[in-house]
Amino acid sequence: MRTLDYNKIEYCKNNKFNFDIGKYFNQSIELFKNNWQQFVLYSFVSVLILFVSYFTIIGSLIIMYPLLMGYLVAAERADDGLSLEFNDFFKGFKNIGTYALLALSIIVLYGILVTPFFLMSLLPLMVDEANDTNTFLILGSSIFVFIFMFVLIILLFVFQILIFLTPYLIHYGDMSLRDAIKTSYAIVKKNFWWMLLLLFISGFISSCGAFACYIGALVSFPVGYIFIYFMLKDMILTGDEIESEIDLLGTNQE
C-alpha cells in the first residue's frame, strides 16, 4: 500500500504544485478499461449500501468516506499490477472511526452556521400585526437572510475545498482528524485555484454519466475517483516515478 510522501507534502505546503490534468485523465481511462467489471459492480453495490443506510439517517454519512476510499484502494492495486479482488474495495473501512468523526464534525459545523439563517427566517412568523415597524423588520430580516445565505454558501464551498484532502490523508497516513485537516488546509491554501479546477473536473467526470442516464454513473463515478487517485499519487503519495519535480528540487538543494 502506498503511504504519504512527507517530502512531497512539505513541498506542496510551500510551493504551487505542477498538476498534469491530461496525464491523470488518460491514466484513469486506461486503468478503468482494464478493470471495468469490478469497478462497475462495486459502484452498484455501493449504491445499494447507501440506499439501505439512508433509513438510519446518519449511517450514510458515516460509511460515505469508507466507500469512496474503496475506489482508491482498488485503483492502487490495479495501478501496481496486483490482482484485484472484490473484497479489496472494502479495505477503505479500516479508518471508519476517524471518518465518522469527520462526518459528524462537518454536520455540527454546518448546524452552527445555519442556525442564524433559520432564526431570521422565523421572524416574519412571529409578527402578528402588520404595521410600518413590522414591515421594516420583515424587509430587513429578508435582506439579511438573503445576504447571509449567499455568504454562507461561499464559505461552506471554500471550507469543503480546504478540507478536501482530509480523508485521503487519514487513509494513506493514518493521521488524526486534527492533523489531517491542518495538513489539507496548508496544502490546498497554497494550491487553491488548481484544486478548485481539479475538483470541478473530477466532479464533472463522476457525474457526466448521470446526465446521459442514471446507470451511466456506475461508469463515470469510478473514473472520477480513479482520476483523484492519480492526482494524489503525483501530489502526496509515494510513487514509482524516477525523478519527480520534487525529487529534482531536493537534489538541487543538496
Looking at the predicted structure, is the pLDDT value of residue 183 above 70? yes
As a whole number of angstroms, the distance between CA 195 and CA 214 comes to 27
At 254, the pLDDT band (50, 70, 90 cuts) reads: very low
Q: Can you read off the three cell numbers belonging to residue 50? A: 447507501
Return mean pLDDT, the chain: 84
Q: What is the pTM of this model?
A: 0.84
pLDDT score, position 119: 74
Number of domains present in the structure of the chain: 1
The 10s digit of each residue's pLDDT in 67-88 is: 999 999 999 999 998 988 899 9
1 lies in a domain? no
142 lies in a domain? yes
pLDDT score, position 245: 47
195 lies in a domain? yes
Higher-confidence position of 132 and 243: 132
173 lies in a domain? yes
As a whole number of angstroms, the distance between CA 170 and CA 66 comes to 11
Which residue has cell 442556525? Answer: 115
- Provide the residue range defining the domain that includes 151: 6-253
15 lies in a domain? yes
